[in-house]
């Protein structure tokens, strides 16, 4: 567990920060893949937890959600438009090609069982010291979470800070194969840049101290390719 800021921690679930979850103010953000269950429970034991929150319902973000909620007896929260996927466990149905072999592999080996969503979150809601930011594109109901006091932003998969094939660190847009609306996702990137976050916390890749406007420079470069 790596301390990011006051009461905010990164929990890497795979080597080289390939899949991350976060703990902040007693809230658990995301839950890796289903085989991460025991690692997550070990990491969170001893903490007083309030709720489990999803940035989005994909196999590598809510794989162990049911296990977390049942073990720690906490409710599950997510965006309204991701609620059905979170509850059904069929979390690849919004992929542009949900019959692709990668989608089938993820459903079989990564996705966990669904779990009842107790609360849906919308723009401006509070989760501890974090404000909910609606950032659709990767999924229809994708959410990010911003703590204005210390500048920490939990990004989910609006951006990744690694190449998902090589695991080499560096900014990337999420792959189109997993993204329902790449153009809308790019608009969500700009929405997050406008918040002027100090620390970007990704679902995939190491955290980024944005001291040189790296994210804005990357965004401007990507706009030219659309």
Domain boundaries, the chain: 2-223
CA distance 146 to 130: 5
Q: What is the pLDDT of residues 63-83, one digit of tens each?
A: 999 999 999 999 999 999 999
DSSP-derived letter for residue 151 is T
CATH code 3.60.15.10 for 2-223: yes
| pTM of this structure | 0.96
Largest Cα separation within the chain, whole Å, is 48
Read off the pLDDT band of 225 (50, 70, 90): confident
pLDDT in tens, 138-149: 999 999 999 999
Residue carrying structure tokens 């996705």: 111
Give the position of tokens 């990011």: 4
Q: Using CA atoms, how far apart are residues 85 and 191, in angstroms rounded to an integer?
A: 25
Lowest mean pLDDT among 79-83, 132-136, 162-166: 162-166
Residue 88 backbone phi and psi in degrees, to 5: -85, -25
Contacts of 196 (CB under 8 A, 6+ apart): 151
pLDDT in tens, 16-56: 999 999 999 999 999 999 999 999 999 999 999 999 999 99
């Amino acid at each position: 567990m790596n301390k990011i800021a006051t009461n905010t921690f990164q929990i890497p679930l795979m080597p080289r920060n390939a899949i991350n979850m976060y703990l902040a103010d007693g809230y658990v953000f995301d839950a890796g893949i289903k085989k991460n269950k025991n690692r997550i429970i070990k990491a969170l034991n001893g903490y007083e937890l309030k709720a489990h929150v999803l940035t989005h319902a994909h196999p590598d973000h809510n794989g162990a959600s049911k296990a977390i909620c049942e073990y720690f007896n906490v409710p599950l929260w997510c965006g309204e438009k991701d609620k059905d996927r979170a509850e059904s466990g069929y979390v690849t149905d919004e992929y542009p090609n949900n019959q692709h072999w990668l989608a089938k592999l993820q459903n079989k080996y990564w996705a966990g069982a669904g779990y009842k969503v107790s609360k849906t979150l919308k723009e401006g809601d509070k989760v501890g010291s974090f404000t909910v930011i609606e950032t659709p594109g990767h999924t229809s109901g994708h959410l990010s979470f911003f703590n204005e006091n210390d500048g920490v932003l939990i990004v989910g998969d609006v951006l990744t800070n690694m190449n998902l094939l090589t695991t080499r660190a560096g900014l990337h847009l999420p792959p189109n194969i997993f993204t329902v609306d790449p153009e809308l996702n790019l608009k969500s990137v700009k929405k997050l840049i406008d918040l002027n976050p100090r620390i970007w916390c990704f679902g995939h890749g190491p955290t980024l101290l944005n001291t040189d406007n790296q994210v804005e420079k990357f965004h401007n470069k990507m706009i030219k390719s659309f």
